[in-house]
Structure 1
């Protein structure tokens, strides 16, 4: 009988990979649902404290900008008693839908490290042992950057957007009465967009590892990157120059950090290559020495 060809135990078929991916997605979704259910039960805290926090003039960001304006001797809208707009729900299911979707997004944000862990568990078997060791702190660093971006979006971008758009009027004849979904969307977009933008160093790290990005490329296209950053800042902030600059500054800092990370990755790879070459030369020299020392009988 002929020998049967068997698949090595560490290799998986395409369908096996799909099945594995399905279970990672199920566990990630389950984590989001569980955390979202907890957020659903914490309705008063989620809405009154977090969601409607930037609507109140005692919000930390407004107090800080008011103090700065007062110190410089300027009149500022950040020093007003309250924002001149109201929030309404014009649909029968508007408040319930907002409650459901806000809880789900809260589940995603809080559960982001676990979702990232499931993603890492899926892709890590395809990496070499050395690559897994070099990426050991991936989940911790990526989660830290994401939460840093979320905090920046919530305490900087969201209040600037709400203050600008909430006080903007084309005429005194028009009053601002915003829909609940529109208000929540402004906060959600600011928070999620900044959380994703702050993952730039992680993205550059992996693009450098696969050879798609180098520090020279990033330096060469720095001006183009600046334009892209300003465009992204204009998308997630109100259309005033001050807000765009405030958002653009940390992203540009992250871009510079990404250049440094790209340099470090290439430097470490070159060092590893030299070390491997030296080891190969040493092994070859030892083998040749052994051959010379062996005498024929």
Structure 2
């Protein structure tokens, strides 16, 4: 039976939801304002992948030296093309940072809102799904920030058709690409969680996923092409490869999962 009998009216539920939303917005605004005033620290993180001293590039350089190759330092200059653009980008970036910092509190408030209407076993599954989904989303964002975006930026930012043509990347283009790639990879990393959930609900099986593996590869390439902010094959491959690996991991997860009605 449910943990708590639901006796509230529709308007009372709506009022509870309104209070939760107000709390979420207030906390997000506080974190956003804090991020706005810590401008140097905020953009030190955001702009770190553009410098050749970034940890990913240092590791690649060490691997190149170990393999007997040459290390080629690179430098990409970011420019601003609008009068108020830097200030607007500062505000948007601070807002994104505020929402990111508030995300655990957002999940907590949403769970508090829906939990009274759930049975005990449903609460257990919701906790697993929300916790696992949040962890996988964070992992996808980190992999994008430390691996996929730096490799993409270094390749495209230094690519030249002629030595007389310099690359001047706009700040807006840089941050938009970074945010979109991190968000896209965070969503992509939800594939194992969704596969596990569908397997538990009896909607998905490992045999089905193996049978349609070739179709899945085509779909992965199409989705990667859609979510890739650039149109080059290099970035497409960097996005599609983790998606394919996640699909293969999902097959193993589904195989180990047994049908259990939530």
User: How many residues in Structure 1 have an aligned counterpart in Structure 2?
Assistant: 258
Q: 3-state SS of the aligned residue for 2:95?
A: helix
* 1:257 has 2:253 as partner: no
Match of 2:198?
A: 207
2:33 pairs, out of 22, 31, 37, with: 37
Asked if 1 retains the 8 angstrom alpha-carbon contact of 2:228 and 2:235, the reply is no
Could you say which residue in structure 2 is the equivalent of 1:56? 51
Deviation (angstroms), 1:120: 2.7
Q: Secondary structure at the match of 2:82?
A: coil
Distance in structure 1 (CA, Å) of the matches to 2:114 and 2:253: 22
The alpha-carbon distance between structure 1 residues 212 and 126, as it changes in their structure 2 partners (threshold 3 A), is farther
TM-score of the aligned structures, taking structure 1 as reference length? 0.75
Structure 1 equivalent of residue 111 of structure 2: 120
Q: 1:123 to 1:264 in 2, by over 3 A?
A: farther
Range with bigger deviation, 155-164 or 236-245: 236-245
| Greater mean deviation of Cα atoms: 60-69 or 233-242 | 233-242
**Corresponding position of 1:286:** none
- The residue that corresponds to 1:97 in the other structure is 88
Q: 1:104 to 1:125 in 2, by over 3 A?
A: same
Give the SS at the match of 2:169: strand
From 108, 130, 140, give the equivalent of 2:99: 108
CA-CA distance at 1:241 after TM superposition: 5.2
Aligned counterpart, 1:159: 150
**Alpha-carbon separation, structure 1, partners of 2:240 and 2:134:** 21
Larger Rg: 1
Correspondence 1:132 to 2:106: no
Deviation at 1:159, TM superposition (A): 0.6
Q: 1:261 to 1:61 in 2, by over 3 A?
A: same
Q: C-alpha displacement at 1:18, in angstroms?
A: 4.1
Higher RCO (C-alpha 8 Å, min separation 6): 2
Question: What RMSD over aligned residues (CA atoms) do the two structures have, in Å?
Answer: 2.8
Q: CA deviation at 1:39?
A: 1.2
Q: Distance in 2 between matches of 1:27 and 1:228?
A: 39
Q: Equivalent residue of 1:178, what SS?
A: strand
Residue-by-residue CA offset, 1:250-276 (whole Å, 9 max, x unaligned): 333332333344344434x28x9xxxx
TM-score (norm 2): 0.83
Q: Point out where structure 1 has 5 or more consecutive residues left out of the alignment.
A: 1-7, 273-297
Partner of 1:81: 73
- For the residue of structure 2 that corresponds to 1:266, the secondary structure is coil
CA 1:68–1:229: 2 relative to 1, 3 Å: farther
Residue aligned with 1:111, SS: helix
Specify whether residues 123 and 33 from structure 1 end up closer, same or farther in structure 2 by C-alpha distance, changes over 3 A only. Answer: same
Tell me how far apart the structure 2 counterparts of residues 41 and 18 of structure 1 sit (CA, whole Å). Answer: 35
Distance 1:236 1:144, change over 3 A: same
Preserved contact between residue 57 and residue 80 of structure 1 (Cα < 8 Å): no
Would you say the 8 A contact 2:5–2:117 is kept in 1?
no
